[in-house]
Amino acid sequence: MLINFSGILIVPIITKILGVQDYGLYVQFTVTISLIGSFATLGLPYAMVRFLVSVKDKEQIREDLFSSIALIAIFSVILSSVLMAFSESIAASIFGNATYLVIIIAAIIPIECIGSTLFNMFRVFQEIKKYVIYGLLRTYTEIAVIAIVAFMGYGIIDIAVSILAVRLLFLLIISILVLPSLGTGIPRFSRTKEYLKFSLPTIPSNISSWILNSSDRYIIGIFMGLTYVGYYNPAYNLGALIQMFMTPINFVLVSLVAKYYEEKKIDLLKEIFKYSTKYYLSLAIPACFGLSILSKPILTLISTPEMANNSYLVVPFSALSYLIMGFGGVSLGFACYLRKKTHIDMINWILIASINIGLNLLLVPRFGIVGAALATLIASLSGTVFGVYFAFKYFDFDFDYNSMAKVIAASVIMSAFIININPNGLAGIIFEMVVGIIVYMAAIMLMKLITKDELMLIRSFIKRQ
């Protein structure tokens, strides 16, 4: 959750010191790294979690890891070389002729891909605390360095160089943390074919996911300029905070459900999916209402009044999009994952991406950044409808419709209490949030959304952590 929130913290650091246009340039820089990284790893880290979670033979784990790293390193270096070769033309079309930014991206890509592969080993070994500590340290070290560079009066190129330095440092750290326990190995690629058969269909899915979440920045930049990219991104990221309720669940379930599926514990899997969805919606739906109501004062606080006035209407669309995507991720994502039907997930993501790009090209010139947010919402909804159909075809899910109705009703009651509060500054926003949480909790308790048995289960789980 803290890692997801970090994107909001960057906004005031750059916008208030360097300005909206430089913030737009920073956004293009980061989303380009995200785009290339979405296919440069060939989907192998995801496959490693699926195949290695039940493997006990350290030699097999070591061979699969080094085979994957070797393949990823070769492919990422090739991609970086292509970026270098076309750096001037790429910079002219996307980065306002800032060629050095493209060169820095090319240097970051192999570092990022290898680092993320090693980072994923914490998931394979289910070492959650190490994963969390490392992820937080890397994220907030990067934010701290960016803040120092900005406050010292340096520009966006210097910030990019500092990001490169931090990611190189943490590549060394993750290597020290992961590799000594496994030892060194020689890539033999004995299971690479099996891995690629599973992972390659996830590449179009990853790219399509990026298109849904980030391509609108490019389209806004082309039609409206980098300043409007700067307006759009904080509002979009504010709505995207909804994903912080699903990210921890997905992270744990990826390895857990694979283990239970291999052990044929299907009834237990159905219970896990049922309660994961219930608790996700219990948090995400009221958060969607709350963020929509508080969008303008929060954006004013973290950016500037000008940015808030131009972008606050983006937040409800973004929040609802991520709410829908989170629900679809539990159903289709895990159904295809367990049944090894990743090609269905790929088709779904390609459908989502195609709808999103087409609608962005149609709506951005007419409705500006709100049109981009609307395009994302329609694409997310379309993909979820398609995905849920196939999810129920491949896996017998139990869904608690009665609980969802109670959550929506409690969220409406909460909204009625807070919508007329006009918060002034950070203290006012916190007060309104506290009031909303108290009203919502009272409403769900009165509706008996969570039973005594569930409360005991949650309490026992917290005590074990």
Q: What is the pLDDT of residues 187-205, one digit of tens each?
A: 878 888 888 887 877 777 7
Predicted local confidence at residue 462, as pLDDT: 53
CB burial string 18-48: b at 16+ within 10 A, e below? bebbbbbbbbbbbbbbebbbbbbbbbbbbbb
What is the rounded CA–CA span in Å between residue 116 and residue 182? 17
Average pLDDT, the chain: 84
In a domain, 191, yes or no: yes
Predicted local confidence at residue 372, as pLDDT: 94
The answer on pLDDT for 232 being more than 80 is: yes
**Per-position DSSP letters for 313-338, written without gaps between them:** THHHHHHHHHHHHHHHIIIIIHHHHH
Listed residues 148, 181, 200: the one ending a domain: 200
In a domain, 222, yes or no: no
Single-letter code of the amino acid located at 282: S
Q: Per residue in 241-257, pLDDT tens? A: 898 888 777 766 766 77
What is the rounded CA–CA span in Å between residue 27 and residue 372? 16
Listed residues 180, 200, 220: the one ending a domain: 200
Predicted local confidence at residue 104, as pLDDT: 94
Sequence-distant (≥ 6) Cβ neighbours of residue 429 within 8 angstroms: 294, 297, 298, 301, 423
Contact 233, 24 (CB under 8 A): yes
The answer on pLDDT for 305 being more than 90 is: no
The answer on pLDDT for 35 being more than 70 is: yes
Q: Per residue in 110-140, pLDDT tens? A: 999 999 889 888 877 778 788 889 989 999 9
Tokens representing residue 296 in the block: 């303008």
Angle between helices 266-302 and 226-239 (to 10 degrees): 130
What is the rounded CA–CA span in Å between residue 328 and residue 387? 6
Q: Are residues 118 and 251 in the same domain?
A: no
The answer on pLDDT for 465 being more than 60 is: no
What is the rounded CA–CA span in Å between residue 157 and residue 98? 8
- List the one residue out of 326, 325, 327 whose CA is nearest residue 377: 325
Predicted local confidence at residue 333, as pLDDT: 59
Q: Are residues 122 and 238 in the same domain?
A: no
In a domain, 221, yes or no: no
Of 50-59, 175-184, 194-203, 223-232, the range with the lowest mean pLDDT is 50-59
Sequence-distant (≥ 6) Cβ neighbours of residue 211 within 8 angstroms: 352, 353, 356, 357
Of 55-64, 291-300, 420-429, the range with the lowest mean pLDDT is 55-64
What is the rounded CA–CA span in Å between residue 31 and residue 360? 17
Cβ-based neighbour number of residue 114 at 10 Å = 21
pLDDT over 70 percentage in the chain: 91
Mean pLDDT along residues 356-382 = 93
**Per-position DSSP letters for 139-160, written without gaps between them:** HHHHHHHHHHHHHTT--HHHHH
The answer on pLDDT for 341 being more than 70 is: no
Q: Are residues 174 and 257 in the same domain?
A: no
Contact 150, 14 (CB under 8 A): yes
In a domain, 418, yes or no: yes
pLDDT over 90 percentage in the chain: 34
Mean pLDDT along residues 419-423 = 84
Q: Are residues 314 and 357 in the same domain?
A: yes
In a domain, 234, yes or no: yes
Predicted local confidence at residue 188, as pLDDT: 79
Q: Are residues 252 and 373 in the same domain?
A: yes
In a domain, 276, yes or no: yes
What torsion, rounded to 10 degrees, do the Cα atoms 329, 331, 333, 334 define? 130
Predicted local confidence at residue 388, as pLDDT: 77
Q: Are residues 31 and 172 in the same domain?
A: yes
pLDDT: is 262 or 425 the higher one? Answer: 425
The answer on pLDDT for 274 being more than 90 is: no
Mean pLDDT along residues 384-395 = 75
The answer on pLDDT for 374 being more than 90 is: yes
Q: Are residues 195 and 259 in the same domain?
A: no
Classify residue 223 by burial, with Cβ atoms within 10 Å: 0-12, 13-18, 19+: middle
Q: Are residues 305 and 166 in the same domain?
A: no
Q: Per residue in 433-462, pLDDT tens? A: 999 999 999 999 888 887 777 667 666 655
Residue given tokens 């007419």 in the structure block: 366
Quote the number of domains for the chain: 2
N-terminal to C-terminal alpha carbon distance within the chain: 17
In a domain, 217, yes or no: no
- List the one residue out of 7, 237, 18 whose CA is nearest residue 143: 7
Domain that holds residue 63: 1-200
In a domain, 239, yes or no: yes
Residue given tokens 């959304």 in the structure block: 449
Q: Per residue in 53-83, pLDDT tens? A: 667 777 888 888 888 899 999 999 999 999 9
Cβ-based neighbour number of residue 254 at 10 Å = 19
Q: Are residues 367 and 251 in the same domain?
A: yes
The answer on pLDDT for 161 being more than 70 is: yes
pLDDT category at 353 given cuts 50, 70, 90 is confident
Contact 248, 298 (CB under 8 A): no
Contact 349, 203 (CB under 8 A): no
Sequence-distant (≥ 6) Cβ neighbours of residue 330 within 8 angstroms: 246, 249, 250, 273, 276, 277, 280
How remote is the C-alpha of 64 from its chain's centroid? 26
What's 108-142 look like in SS3? HHHHHHHHHHHHCHHHHCCCHHHHHHHHHHHHHHH
Q: Are residues 243 and 196 in the same domain?
A: no
Using alpha carbons only, how large is the chain's radius of gyration in Å? Answer: 22
Predicted local confidence at residue 169, as pLDDT: 96
Q: Are residues 294 and 150 in the same domain?
A: no
Q: Are residues 194 and 257 in the same domain?
A: no
